[in-house]
């Protein structure tokens, strides 16, 4: 039962119970069964509390479905590996304006951030780039783009040059992938 007198009103409920013996933290994110119904029941039993659900949510449609039952949804891996999912959130879930930034503009913003962090703290761009590798998830040429941004041999280059190289490789690769409509037909 939520601690009535402790003053906490917001609960993020992990839909998998962690098995503290026998499973690693990584396995605990996949192995125990997802029990969203438990979080939904908590909301029905304690409607005055803010209940959010976490675990295994990997699309914006899934978020919309959960919001029929609870007040919020928390995403871990999907937000990390497919950050473009967040692009819809302001407009779709939070009553905000649609995001108008293109992926190229987001990448350019990240490059400015890398430059700032390098100037202020000496942080190498590689420490930041490794966390943005999901930015082009599912996009043509994404693999070539990721290979540039994760290439430690380029560490000495300024991030603006790595950006230019990543863009170039991505576009070359995307050009080499024939669109489906131009592939020869079997019949």
Residue 54, interface with ligand FMN (CB under 6 A)? yes
Residue 134, interface with ligand FMN (CB under 6 A)? no
Distance CA 109, CA 45 (A): 44
Placement of tokens 């951030």 in the chain: 113
* Residue 35 CB burial class (10 angstroms; 0-12, 13-18, ≥19): middle
In the set 8, 10, 19, 80, which binds ligand FMN (CB under 6 A)?
80
Torsion of CA 183, 137, 85, 111, to 10 degrees: -130
Work out how close the CB of 133 gets to ligand FMN at its nearest, in angstroms, rounded to a whole number: 12
Residue 29, interface with ligand FMN (CB under 6 A)? yes
Please identify, among the stretches 75-83, 143-151, 164-172, 173-181, the one whose residues bind ligand FMN according to the rule CB under 6 A. Answer: 75-83
Distance CA 103, CA 142 (A): 12
- Provide the token pair at 121: 């703290």
Distance CA 176, CA 167 (A): 14
Please identify, among the stretches 48-56, 95-103, 117-125, 132-140, the one whose residues bind ligand FMN according to the rule CB under 6 A. Answer: 48-56
Work out how close the CB of 57 gets to ligand FMN at its nearest, in angstroms, rounded to a whole number: 5
Q: Which is nearer to ligand FMN, 54 or 170 (CB)?
A: 54
- Provide the token pair at 161: 């040059």
Q: Which is nearer to ligand FMN, 77 or 171 (CB)?
A: 77
Work out how close the CB of 53 gets to ligand FMN at its nearest, in angstroms, rounded to a whole number: 10
Give the other-Cβ count within 10 Å of 187's Cβ: 2
Binding site for ligand FMN (CB under 6 A): 14, 29, 54-57, 75-78, 80
């Amino acid at each position: 039962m939520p601690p009535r007198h402790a003053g906490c009103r917001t609960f993020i409920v992990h839909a998998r119970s962690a098995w503290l013996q026998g499973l690693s933290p990584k396995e605990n994110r996949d192995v125990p069964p997802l029990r969203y119904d438990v979080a939904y029941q908590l909301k029905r039993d304690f409607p005055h509390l803010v209940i959010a659900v976490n675990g295994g949510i990997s699309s914006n449609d899934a978020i919309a479905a959960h919001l029929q039952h609870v007040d919020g949804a928390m995403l871990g891996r999907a937000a990390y590996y497919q950050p473009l999912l967040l692009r819809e959130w302001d407009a779709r879930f939070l009553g905000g304006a649609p995001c108008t930034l293109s992926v190229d503009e987001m990448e350019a913003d990240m490059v400015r951030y890398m430059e700032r962090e390098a100037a202020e703290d000496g942080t190498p761009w590689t420490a930041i780039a490794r966390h943005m590798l999901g930015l082009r998830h599912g996009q043509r040429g994404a693999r070539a783009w990721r290979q540039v941004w994760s290439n430690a041999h380029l560490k000495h280059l300024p991030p603006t040059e790595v950006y230019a190289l990543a863009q170039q490789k991505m576009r070359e690769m995307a050009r080499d992938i024939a669109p489906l409509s131009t592939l020869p037909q079997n019949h």
